[in-house]
Structure 1
Amino acid sequence: MIAIDGRGGAGKTTLAENLRRAAPNSAVVHTDDVAWNHAYFDWGAVLAENILRPLHRGEPVDFRPDAWISYDRAGAITVPAGADFVWVEGTGIIREDLGPWLDASVYIQGDRDEQERLLVARDGNSSEQQEHVANWLREELPFMLRERPWSRATMVVAGPSRTDHDPDTELVVASPVSL
């Protein structure tokens, strides 16, 4: 169980998908799916109870969060039993209460202004999306400063926006940050 954390727009999903393709018999869990219409960061217990614990017991996961049912979202979060690696990606995954469930973790360090620009570019620039990004940023920074995921991470890597490398084939490892 390997966590991939970083601020919004840091490249977590891209890294997780690249690692999934590189490691046969692996799967990706997106915390955005757990948090969808739930809360920006108050989803740790839901993730642990419905995804991380069953996987640690060697069971498959086929989980429909309450918000998916309430809003009639199709599908489920599924992970087969016996995956060699499960990449759990999302802002806020490297946190104290989830530490016991994680075998290793990666924090993607990036430029704050660039990541905010990428959030808007990725998710659109409608007034609703601008409001969503503003609300996200109001909660993201205090959460990150409280949890300090970079200080808990097994590895800190440079986000793609600040380096001259191919993010599909290369991973740039940075020195640990101590603040």
Structure 2
Amino acid sequence: MNNYQSFSDDHHFRRVGATEPIQLQPEEPAVTQWQVSAIADLVTHLMHLVGIPKGRPAIIAVDGRGGSGKTTLTTALATAVPGAQAFHLDDLIWNEPLYDWDQLYVDTLTQLRQAGCLDLVPDKWREHGREGSIRVPAGSPLVVVEGTGAGLRAVSDLIDAHVWVQTCDDVAERRGIRRDIAEGVNGDAEESVRFWHWWMAGERLFFAKDRPWRRADVIVSGDAPAGVEPGEIAWTPGPLLPR
């Protein structure tokens, strides 16, 4: 029995218009109106979608462009469900070629679904001397996988719900560069900007082909429009299809 109740069609959300204009890649339709609710209401909706799988955790993929707000959303979702685990795709694909890791991701989710847990040392970790492992303890009720490409087409049958975080390109770029400079992960400021532009070029090609928003169960605004208060979130049921 699923303890999470779905929202009926007449559930009353507050509605707000999208921030205009929003710059997205040509293939992605922009959401024009959002429904606003407490974050807990979004969690309830998602948990109703995923149900309670037998012998394994439910798996929610949180996808979006770099700097879109995926990690912030993932933290909120994982915090709201006791025992939930956040799985950062960047850890799994660390040092893998850009967008050439489909099979690794498929194999990892397959293992998680079959075993109900995970204790994985990726090959690249061994090659480069990275210590530790990627762990999902047995009995975890939910795994939230976040990362650019987390909801790619190849894993459609391996995830239970798919969230696409829609954020303006300019906003995502500013966030990503600011974060990378602060963390010092890609060199100095000039190197961080150069890396980000290289990353975004590959990201745009990937999303133009994969178009994850067409499969998403929920679309979340990664840049809250006017009228969204602290503790609230703007979202809408997916998918996003061409008009």
TM-score under structure 2 length normalisation: 0.68
Q: Deviations over 1:99-149 (max 9, x none)?
A: 010111100001111111111011115333223212211100011111111
Give the whole-Å Cα distance in 2 for the aligned partners of 1:122 and 1:166. Answer: 24
Is the 8 Å Cα contact of residues 63 and 70 (structure 2) preserved in structure 1?
yes
* 2:236 matches 1:170: no
RMSD in angstroms over aligned alpha carbons?
A: 1.7
* 2:108 matches 1:45: no
The residue number in structure 1 matching 2:123 is 66
**Structure with a larger share of its residues in helix:** 1
In the superposition, relative to structure 1, how do residues 178 and 20 fare at CA in structure 2: closer, same or farther (>3 Å)? same
Give the whole-Å Cα distance in 1 for the aligned partners of 2:154 and 2:198. Answer: 24
Give the whole-Å Cα distance in 2 for the aligned partners of 1:67 and 1:128. Answer: 24
Is the 8 Å Cα contact of residues 106 and 154 (structure 2) preserved in structure 1?
no
Same amino acid, percent of matched pairs: 36
The residue number in structure 1 matching 2:69 is 11
6-15 vs 169-178, greater mean Cα deviation: 169-178
Structure 1 residue 10: Cα displacement: 0.6
Is the 8 Å Cα contact of residues 4 and 16 (structure 1) preserved in structure 2?
yes
Q: Which amino acid aligns with 1:102?
A: I
* 2:112 matches 1:55: yes
Q: Which amino acid aligns with 1:14?
A: T
Q: Which amino acid aligns with 1:9?
A: G
The residue number in structure 1 matching 2:184 is none
Query: Among residues 191, 198, 210, which one is paired with 1:135 in the alignment?
Result: 198
In the superposition, relative to structure 1, how do residues 22 and 141 fare at CA in structure 2: closer, same or farther (>3 Å)? same
The residue number in structure 2 matching 1:79 is 136
Q: Secondary structure at the match of 1:91?
A: coil
* 2:177 matches 1:120: yes
Q: Deviations over 1:152-175 (max 9, x none)?
A: 1001111135455356x3221136
Query: Among residues 120, 131, 152, which one is paired with 2:215 in the alignment?
Result: 152
Is the 8 Å Cα contact of residues 224 and 234 (structure 2) preserved in structure 1?
no
Q: Secondary structure at the match of 2:143?
A: strand
Which sections of structure 1, spanning at least 5 residues, go unmatched? none
Give the whole-Å Cα distance in 2 for the aligned partners of 1:90 and 1:153. Answer: 14
Is the 8 Å Cα contact of residues 111 and 162 (structure 1) preserved in structure 2?
no
In the superposition, relative to structure 1, how do residues 39 and 164 fare at CA in structure 2: closer, same or farther (>3 Å)? farther
TM-score under structure 1 length normalisation: 0.91
Larger radius of gyration: 2
Q: Deviations over 1:35-58 (max 9, x none)?
A: 211123222211221x31122113
The residue number in structure 1 matching 2:162 is 105
Q: Secondary structure at the match of 1:157?
A: strand
Structure 1 residue 27: Cα displacement: 0.5
* 2:100 matches 1:22: no
How many residues are matched?
177
Runs of 4+ in 1 over 4 A off after TM superposition: 161-164
